[in-house]
Amino acid sequence: MVDPRLTPFRGPALAFASYLLLQAGSAAVLFAVKLGTTPGQVAEFYLGSEERFAAPRSLPGLLEVAVPHLLAVPLVLFAAAHVVGYARALGRRAFVALVALSFGSAAAGISAGFLVRFAAPELAWLKLVAFVGLEASLLTWAGLLVAIFAPIGERSRGRAPEGAGAALG
């Protein structure tokens, strides 16, 4: 625990980290099942396929996915970055780099679907790279939250910070 004043927030922060992992895991499964794992499969998802009787994605369909993600993803990243930043668990450069990776990947991932469908199908690789970047950043934020808030090593150091008795406090 970097700052003992954060100890009472251990429970909420660890629950949030668990949910970050659940979001990252479910996103990975959905991406693999729906879009595929290669640029060709991703392009086919957006452009449709006569062989598979799949229609191209419509603009309303793309917006239906993009709009909730434009709210939810930055909000989750902001909350995670805010807590980690407050705890000063990373150096300034590393923190800024992780924030840039997170928000950059989110922006690229959301816009890549529109680009593949309406501008440049060859940009399907961008969708894949952006998704991997966002997943990596979510895992990193979750890991940092666990590193900051989990009571690992506190007992062995022989000191119990304020409120440490309440594991979910």
Angle between helices 124-149 and 39-47 (to 10 degrees): 110
CB 13 within 8 A of CB 146: no
Rounded to a whole number of angstroms, the minimum distance from the CB of residue 42 to other proteins is: 15
CB 84 within 8 A of CB 99: no
Rounded to a whole number of angstroms, the minimum distance from the CB of residue 68 to other proteins is: 8
Q: In whole angstroms, what is the distance from residue 127 CA to residue 62 CA? A: 14
Q: Which residues bind other proteins (CB under 8 A)?
A: 3, 5-6, 8-9, 11-13, 15-16, 18-20, 22-23, 26-27, 29-30, 33-34, 68, 72, 75-76, 79, 82-83, 86, 163, 165-169
Rounded to a whole number of angstroms, the minimum distance from the CB of residue 120 to other proteins is: 26
Beta carbon nearer to other proteins, 80 or 124: 80
Rounded to a whole number of angstroms, the minimum distance from the CB of residue 168 to other proteins is: 4
Judged by DSSP in three states, 52 sits in coil
Beta carbon nearer to other proteins, 35 or 126: 35
DSSP state, 58?
P
Rounded to a whole number of angstroms, the minimum distance from the CB of residue 23 to other proteins is: 5
Beta carbon nearer to other proteins, 79 or 129: 79
Beta carbon nearer to other proteins, 30 or 120: 30
Q: In whole angstroms, what is the distance from residue 10 CA to residue 166 CA? A: 9
Plot region of 57 (φ>0 → left; ψ -120 to 50 → alpha; else → beta): beta
Beta carbon nearer to other proteins, 26 or 38: 26
Q: In whole angstroms, what is the distance from residue 86 CA to residue 29 CA? A: 32
